[in-house]
Amino acid sequence: MRAIFLTVVAALSVVTGYAQATKAVEIKDFTFELQDNGNLNVDIDIDFTNLDVKTTQVVVLTPIIVNGDKSQELKSIAVYGRNRRIYYLRNSDIKPTTNEDIELSRNDAHDVITYSTSTYFAEWMDGCRVELLRTDYGCCGVPSTIDRAELVERFPVEAYHPELIYLRPEHEVVKSRQIHGSAFVDFPVSKTVIYPDYRNNIVELAKITGTIDSVKNDQDITIKSIFIKGYASPESPYSNNTRLAKGRTEALKEYVENMYHFDKDFIKTDFEPEDWAGLERYVEASSLPHKREILAAIRSNREPDNKEWFIKSTWKEDYRFLLTHCYPALRHSDYTIEYEVRSYSNPVDIERILHTAPQNLSLEEFFILAQTYEPGSDKFNELFETAVRMYPNDPVANLNAANSAILKGDYRSALRYLDKAGDMAEAVYTRGALEVYMDNSDAAKPYFEEAKRRGVAQADVALAEIAVNRNIITMSNKQQTK
């Protein structure tokens, strides 16, 4: 604080022939406060103890609001020497102050005087600086000395935004990935032999081979296994559906093996004779007249054949609808391709994969690429949003995405991401940071206190910063916020 006093004093010291006669004016304290009604209140404690004003002299101090090429003078405080005071009583039209200003005689200005004024804080003043202008008038009535001292370099103080903490994800030693899909391969009634040209089989078989090709032809990928599970629908006896589901799954396995010459045991299989879970999902989402009763039957402990017969015979119209619109989709083959992707350390390679197969990047690789982008830039923010799409339930991915959303001002998305960021200390801190960005500093405090207790160093800084009212600046907090 003393350094500021000295700065102000030095700036107001007289540097002309009056230096010996008029000593420094010292600013003891000041407060600038922006009120809710739009008025700016200004209070300055000025120590005139060492000011020696000649009888023919006037010293005028004027606060000035300055922003760019615009400025506004506030009322002045002036100290008059005896002869000058008498002179201006006779010649008030040329007096350097007005009736609105504070006028003191040399005898009155022997201690600390509190200067107070108020003015409307116009829109152009936002981000202004405040200077104190000293003008000395001599016996000829013209300014003989003009000095300026900066009291406030910016007002209101620029909004405080806490540092956002991005975490580096853990290294993924083995980048194991899976692709899932479903194919609806048609078979002639009661047959288990695949006919590629039968009905829509060309398209359905291409789903499987296309998925395999998408990874098999990538030199960065190694296929580790393929899994196929076949399902039948419930309209035939359970024993026959068991035969069909098993036989058709084996037929599809052989088809894929012959296409790619995989080892005989490379493709693993399983089957489910009747897809009751699929039927339940369909009915649950439907608007069938007897939806509730059919769901109760599906969920009952009846044997599969009895269950299917009960639905068929009890709700005939609903059953016919299901037979036409739902049962064909229950005859499907689900497949999973498990593969491993090599690791990337070069940001150029990572960016290439980002645009072609982002699902093959680890969270750490997203983070490596982020270090090459400008923080807060569109590319930077989009990168973390892509990462959280690839890893929607990962706490670190959600934390980093929350930070990016905060920088964009998308506070709703930030809240959504933070809901999945878990209870790690950095997530607690970020919840506080979000409150500050949303101008809820009081709500932020408990989060910062908890984060501080749990060892987040940035929380201590945040607590100190939000303690400062940004619409009030005093001599003490001017030094803190410079």
pLDDT (0 to 100) of residue 160? 84
How high does pLDDT run on average in the chain? 89
Confidence category of residue 9, pLDDT binned at 50, 70, 90:
very low
Task: Provide the token pair at 166.
Answer: 């991005």
Q: Give the least confident one: 77-81, 253-257, 478-482.
A: 478-482
Interatomic CA distance for residues 90 and 76, integer angstroms: 21
Residue with tokens 């009890």: 314
pLDDT at 17 > cutoff 60? no
- Model pTM score: 0.66
What mean pLDDT comes out for the span 131-158? Answer: 83
Tens of pLDDT, residue by residue over 25-79, are 888 899 898 888 889 999 999 999 888 888 989 999 999 999 999 999 999 999 9
* Cross-strand bridge partners of residue 180: 336
pLDDT (0 to 100) of residue 65? 95
pLDDT at 384 > cutoff 70? yes
Tens of pLDDT, residue by residue over 305-339, are 999 999 999 999 999 999 999 999 999 999 999 99
pLDDT (0 to 100) of residue 240? 94
Angle, CA 60 vertex, CA 472 and CA 124 arms, to 5°: 40
Quick check: 68 and 32 in contact, CB under 8 A? no
pLDDT at 481 > cutoff 60? no
Containing H/E element for 220?
none
pLDDT at 376 > cutoff 60? yes
pLDDT at 16 > cutoff 50? no
How would DSSP label each residue in 237-303?
Answer: -HHHHHHHHHHHHHHHHHHHHHHHT--TTTEEEEEES--HHHHHHHHHHS--TTHHHHHHHHTSS--
Distances from the Cα of 244 to the Cαs of 155, 206, 275, 326, 336, in angstroms? 79, 22, 13, 18, 21
What mean pLDDT comes out for the span 262-271? Answer: 90
Confidence category of residue 1, pLDDT binned at 50, 70, 90:
very low
Helix, strand, or coil (residue 155):
strand
pLDDT (0 to 100) of residue 281? 96
Structural domains for the chain: 2-155 (2.60.40), 175-339 (3.30.1330.60), 344-481 (1.25.40.10)
What mean pLDDT comes out for the span 84-107? Answer: 89
The proportion of the chain whose per-residue pLDDT surpasses 90, expressed as a percent, equals 69
Backbone angles phi, psi at 48, to 5 degrees: -95, 10
Task: Provide the token pair at 445.
Answer: 């405090």
Interior/surface letters 50-79, b for 16+ CB within 10 angstroms, e for the rest: ebebbeebbbbbbbbbbbeeeeeebbbbbb
